[in-house]
Structure 1
Amino acid sequence: MMAQHRHATILWGHSRLMVLLFIIILHFVMCSCKSDAEILLKFKESLKDNGALSNWNDTKPPCSGYNENWVGIICGNGTVSGVKLENMGLAGVIDVDALKELKILRTISLMNNKFDGSLPNITELGALKSIYLSDNQFSGAIPIGIFDGMLSLKKVHLARNKFSGEIPQSLITLPRLRELMLQDNEFEGEIPQFRNGMLKSFNVSDNELTGEIPRGLSHMNATSFSGNEGLCGAPLESCSPAKLSVGTIIIVMILVALAIAALTSVVVILYRRKQMLEQEQATVSPPGHRKAYSTDLDIMEQGGASPEHRTNGKKRDNNTKLTFLQDDREKFDMGYLLKASAEILGSGIFGSTYKASLSGGQAMAVKRFRHMNNVGKEEFHEHMRRLGRMSHQNVLPIVAFYYRKEEKLLVSEYMENISLAVHLHGNTSRGLPCPDWPTRLNIIKGVAKGLLYLNNELPSLMAPHGHLKSSNILLDRSFNPLLTDYGLVPVMNQDRAQEHMIAYKSPEYKNNGRITKKTDVWSLGMLILETMTGIFPSSFLQQGSKRNDMDLVSWVESVVKEANADVDQVFDKNMGGKQKSEREMMKLLQIGLNCCEAEVDKRWDLKQAAERIEQVKQKDNDNDQEYNSIRLSN
């Protein structure tokens, strides 16, 4: 009896000790975190508030029942869930780094104030549901991927500012977006292809937009598009083929002027020739006069050539010539390329890409790079010749290049099926077929083969590709993948490369400031997860951002490893093939996770990853024993 009593006393003592230890740890954790008051006061420091926020003070917490002392603060569950500072004459800098510490911040509204400059890096606030920044003085182009990964975002209001450039394509990737207000700005280009029924409220009136209104927005009121002279299609007037745009009219006028100039030149030449013949001179003038066109590459945006700079009969220097990397291809000069009708395919971080339709039906893709100006001419030529020797069925050859200090051109064949990114994320709005499971598996296998080839042919490069993502996987007529934008790390300006190239988003660079031979393997893993889930990886967010939500790798891993979990929720529902191929799909998914291992030493090398990918079949094997333990594999 005494022994039992002593045993109970010891257990009680241990229990008290554990409780005390838990209280100490909890106190330490709570004390180490900033309070909502501290966070908001830090946010206030960068504002020019003219006394509008004078009642913000740390005497009473903002969500303690006394939030009348914290003007504009919205509370939920005892903490700050929204910041609503409207019509206060505020200016200064919006401190996103401070706001991102508000863990359940869902709404921010700073409408009708005096904020200016570029749009803040709202990507940091990944859990936001509503953003209201209308009626300020923001200006400049909005980064194309600034909304990537903001999967909870429902409302975006940026009206009545001075934003310019194109409407960010990343908006179409937001699955819950319902309201988009962009009126009274200076946006230009075409409206992104939003899915049918995606938006309930939409307004882009009084901008400088052009092109046909996407079918998914045709049900909107016509006033949502007014004030854009270049827009057509329902609910506005139809895009009549006979109705020429201003750009087309300019091109026609240029071509007419060129024709007249050419005809005049012929007349002058024939007249001079007749004079020389009459004088019985031995020397005759040339039978024709070929005009040289401007090297100002901005004319490509107008879809034609400009006659502004003429040679006046003098020979142009060699820096206006395209340098071809393959001897067996038909050659054409810069003037011939610039005379081709040009269609802009997209604008990215490093420049724009055009489709140039040459005479005879051949189409080329021309990509402009503006961030290679730190590379010398000889170094650039040598590196391009090195890349020009690449020859593999899954690597897109560089046909030719053009060097100028301010910008560079890379010319390659145009792929009719565009990119994997378009088919994964923009196929519905473009009316394109959604790739099924066999097609996706074939694409991943081809990508792995192409990467392995680059790894063998470019051994001196730490990351032979360096910028592997779904938009850099082009698809030919048979949906075979071709890698593009490879091997560019050595010739990119390092500040831009480190800020935007995919290799520099890897865990090893974020943690240790370096890329390794396995960095392309990490990119391959992210590509596999994106292809299988149909979701943009959150790793494509801006460099250095902190994610409030679980990233794609963690989410897939948590579902795969959970006992009795419904793994069907991981796979893209548009992919199909689950009934006959679930085991093989799971294999590929697990390969993607192994490639995404954060610790470089534990991550597979490229050869191992390629071999395992090649072993994946289109259909399940009933005798396959590997599936039984696949969820627990490393």
Structure 2
Amino acid sequence: MKKISHLFAFTALLFLCLLSPLPRTTAGDLRSDRKALLNFGTSVPHTRRLNWTSNGSPCNSWIGITCARVDSLTRVIAVRLPAVGLYGSFPANTIGNLDALITLSLRSNQLAGDLPPDVLSLPSLRHIYLQHNNFSGTIPSSLSPNLVALDLSFNSLTGDIPKTLQNSTQLTRLKLQSNGLTGNIPSALNVTQLQQLNVSYNQLNGSIPSTLQTFPSSSFVGNNVHLPPRTRPTVPQRRKGVTKSKKLSGGSVAAIAVSSVGGFFLAMAVLVCFLKKKQRKPEEGVGGVNGRAKGKGDEKPNEGEKNKLVFFNGYAQSYDLEDLLRASAEVLGKGRYGTSYKAVLEDGTAVVVKRLKELVVGKREFELQMEIVGKMSHHPNVLPLRAYYYSRDEKLLVFNYFPFGNFSSLLHGNKGFGGNEVDWETRVNICLGAARGIAHIHCWCQWRQAGPRQHKVVKCANYIRTPGMHLGLWIGSHDELSSSPNEELRRLPGS
């Protein structure tokens, strides 16, 4: 009888254990994510203000934060804070507590000290971009086995390249250049998926493993390594299924270009208004459309020349110039003065960029006009500029990308909404919106005392459709502006 009672007690205990909730693989939730982010924000000084507040949700427009559903819960899956002025050491138990994190981008800041091992070992983490910081010490050996991209270039890291990278069988991009790494290049690196490799300008020695000799010699220069005599490095073949879209190489800032959406129309109208006025009064200010700037201000590196994009108020600085250079690019159109590209960033964000190829203007004039554009572009029928870049040789404008096409495609390409004809009332409303946008620009040009402007080639193909069927102004590749009908037309860059 005693044995039976003991057996019953044991059975009951086992049953209760089975009923107890099992621990979850991902133990966090959105509250713990918010706490981790707030701890990071308060522990790491930063020069740019973050709108992270203790009474708000990280998924509600927090700068640099992306959320998604993970195991039926809303979680933080990406932290992107490039070039926001972060400096100091990377605290433990902050970002490392985001156990659903997939992408971490803190590039182009001034973070220093050791790399955070609790972050780099997160099993969910797939993309790490920490380049252009001041990190020192060694690369942690405990790395996420699910890594797809790891970029630790342009830091002050020392020690060996961890052999545990061989466990990251999905790794396609490994960038470790411009550090102080020593030792041999691991021969056990898994190259089945590896498409981009750069370990140049370190202090590595020995031979290059045979499995890596298909990469170009530029991936290994600046080290004490050598290729076998018979080996001639070639560019590695892309795997099947990789898209044919172009990459924006670092040497081709000129290859980035902007869609000719309303913000571009507005920006160029303002620039020409201002420069037209300066042509009549060449003694005022510096620089001009007919020559390079002569002011002393251009002799010093400006924000653009420091690899910085200048963002307008209301737009989070969620990417930098390097992101654009690395983006896949699709040509939208070529005009007399530049080429327009759709650029898809690593996180999937699509923007449109245009190079003002033939515009010769000084830094002060350019920045002044960009400031005016930022102030005057708050209009429902004008698509505003998002950011710009200036250097002596390159002037770039960045806009949001809208996949809805233009008014012409609405009327003729796909027969309007859902294949139906566009009714008369909708057409009238669209025309009114376009007229309001043009009138808004005219008012600002007159406010600048630059005289009236005549628009040429105002057509339905020059208006972009945005969500809600608002129309934003678009200047096409053959569009022109002139100060009066009798004056010689002053051509502007188009798409």
Same fold (TM over 0.5): no
- With CA pairs under 8 Å and 6+ residues apart, which has the higher RCO, 1 or 2? 2
- Greater fraction helix: 1
- Greater fraction strand: 2
Q: Which has the greater radius of gyration?
A: 1
